[in-house]
Amino acid sequence: MNISQFITESEALAEEIVAQRRDFHRHPELGFQEHRTAGVVADAMNGLGLKVRTGVAETGVIALLEGKRPNPTILLRFDMDALPIQEETGASYTSTVDGVMHACGHDGHTAIGMTVAKLLHSHRQDLPGTIKFVFQPAEEGLNGAERMVEEGVLLDPVPDYTLSMHLWNDKPVGWIGITPGPAMAGSERLEIEITGRGGHAASPHQAVDPVLAAAQVICALQSVVSRNLDPCQAAVVSVTQVRAGDAFNVIPSKALLKGTIRTFGGEVRDLVLQRVKEIAGGVAQAMGCEAQVKVERLTPPVVNNRALATKLQSLVKRVYPETTVDTEEVAMGSEDMAFMMEDIPGCYMFVGSSNPAKGLDASHHNPHFDFDEVVLPRAAALMAVSAWMLLEGD
């Protein structure tokens, strides 16, 4: 079959996909609470006659589309959750839930996934393999993907590849980012507890001040990236929370720092974690305090399979000649799709979605976030075309 056909067929569904996205946008649901969204998705997948499993990781939906032969199998993943943000877009389809908003574009992802299912289903008699549609809950910091892996999303059948995407408001519609190798950073939660000795603020010599030590630690941590790391490598160390003391005239006994570390894993991660621990411990000790450092891994990095990414780059250039294909887009944000990509070769694509001329260019997680909906049918066609090509083994 001529895969470019999907572009025409997807454009014909433009009105429907926009309406679907706006419906999800009006009814945003936080992670693991996507009951309405999952219900709409499951109804649509059942309506197409797919093999549907619901309640995976609370609200996840898995739908299997079987083609003319069983293998290979491709997993397509779309996330469904919203964020605890009060919407300020003023859009006609604005959120109807106070304090909850689709500010990352997952409403679009869910609508795109449903459209991809429709497109591929209508050609199922020619489909050269199996598609496993995964509608995932709780991507925003809650690791819904990890829960789905624990509950068997990668089994029965085991996918040969994974494909996933994010609408990307940092770039305009017409831009697509496919990066071979590391594409999004892994994320760790950092906690440093500094213990000194409390006392009267007017008698600092009788106390050991953990606030001063915390301040020094924060400053010294800035040297990890600037002085220890190879300048051609990437990492982030951000201290984002500082808590100490309850009174203006008391030197507290403890100070607590929290933050995050982002790296692409490997030696850089080892180095950054080692230096953070050494610096926090050493500086605190120099100030007469003690530091306890806890680092908890939240998500591994998203690493695209190089061969797969290269294949998709050339496919996209062939099918969409007017599209800008960026082969170097890398984000220090994290993405729990990494859990599904750890053992299965996969590719995670960024799909430019902003349109500054229409004022649709606020960044992700901003109360004004919105994207240009013309991207929706294009992204659906892109996923359908990519999946088809991978099944064919083109």
List the catalytic residues: 81, 139
Binding mask 48-87 for Zn ion (x = CB under 5 A): ----------------------------------------
Q: At what angle do helices 375-392 and 106-121 cross, to 10 degrees?
A: 50
- What element of type H or E holds 296? strand 290-299
**104/315 with CB nearer Zn ion:** 104
**13/111 with CB nearer Zn ion:** 111
User: What is the closest distance, in whole angstroms, from the C-beta atom of residue 315 to Zn ion in the complex?
Assistant: 24
**78/175 with CB nearer Zn ion:** 78
Instruction: Give how far Cα 186 sits from Cα of 217, 264, 308, 336, 338, Å.
Output: 23, 6, 21, 9, 8
Beta-carbon count within 10 A of 91 CB: 14
Q: Interface with Zn ion by CB under 5 A: which range of 23-31, 102-110, 349-357, 385-393? A: 102-110
User: What is the closest distance, in whole angstroms, from the C-beta atom of residue 244 to Zn ion in the complex?
Assistant: 30
**104/381 with CB nearer Zn ion:** 104
d(CA 390, CA 159): 12
User: What is the closest distance, in whole angstroms, from the C-beta atom of residue 81 to Zn ion in the complex?
Assistant: 9
Phi/psi-derived region of residue 129, left when phi > 0, alpha when psi is between -120 and 50, beta in every other case: left
DSSP states of 79-139 as a string?
E---BS-------TT--SSTT-B--SSHHHHHHHHHHHHHHHHTTTTT--SEEEEEEES--
User: What is the closest distance, in whole angstroms, from the C-beta atom of residue 254 to Zn ion in the complex?
Assistant: 33
**184/387 with CB nearer Zn ion:** 184
Q: Interface with Zn ion by CB under 5 A: which range of 54-62, 98-106, 208-216, 347-355? A: 98-106
Q: Which of residues 3-22 bind Zn ion (CB under 5 A)?
A: none
Binding status of residue 341 toward Zn ion by CB under 5 A: no
Nearest to 3 by CA among 115, 127, 175: 127
Q: Interface with Zn ion by CB under 5 A: which range of 96-104, 192-200, 227-235, 285-293? A: 96-104
**65/104 with CB nearer Zn ion:** 104
Q: Interface with Zn ion by CB under 5 A: which range of 97-105, 231-239, 278-286, 380-388? A: 97-105
Binding status of residue 112 toward Zn ion by CB under 5 A: no
Q: Interface with Zn ion by CB under 5 A: which range of 104-112, 218-226, 297-305, 373-381? A: 104-112
d(CA 377, CA 12): 8
User: What is the closest distance, in whole angstroms, from the C-beta atom of residue 135 to Zn ion in the complex?
Assistant: 14
User: What is the closest distance, in whole angstroms, from the C-beta atom of residue 336 to Zn ion in the complex?
Assistant: 10
Q: The dihedral of CA 197, 198, 200, 202: what is its sign?
A: positive
What number of chain residues touch Zn ion (CB under 5 A)? 1
User: What is the closest distance, in whole angstroms, from the C-beta atom of residue 359 to Zn ion in the complex?
Assistant: 21
Binding status of residue 104 toward Zn ion by CB under 5 A: yes
Binding status of residue 167 toward Zn ion by CB under 5 A: no
d(CA 248, CA 230): 42
Binding status of residue 351 toward Zn ion by CB under 5 A: no
Binding status of residue 138 toward Zn ion by CB under 5 A: no
Q: Which of residues 219-258 bind Zn ion (CB under 5 A)?
A: none
d(CA 376, CA 362): 17
d(CA 258, CA 291): 13
Peptide bond into 72 cis (omega under 30): yes
**In the Cβ-directed half-sphere of 198, how many Cα atoms lie within 13 Å?**
11
d(CA 349, CA 23): 25
d(CA 213, CA 218): 9
**104/279 with CB nearer Zn ion:** 104
**24/388 with CB nearer Zn ion:** 24
Q: What residues form DSSP beta bridges with 168? A: 352
Q: Which residue is nearest to Zn ion (CB)?
A: 104
Q: Residue 134: phi, psi to the nearest 5?
A: -120, 115
User: What is the closest distance, in whole angstroms, from the C-beta atom of residue 109 to Zn ion in the complex?
Assistant: 8
Q: Interface with Zn ion by CB under 5 A: which range of 103-111, 172-180, 241-249, 347-355? A: 103-111
> Which residues of the shown chain bind Zn ion in the complex (CB under 5 A)?
104
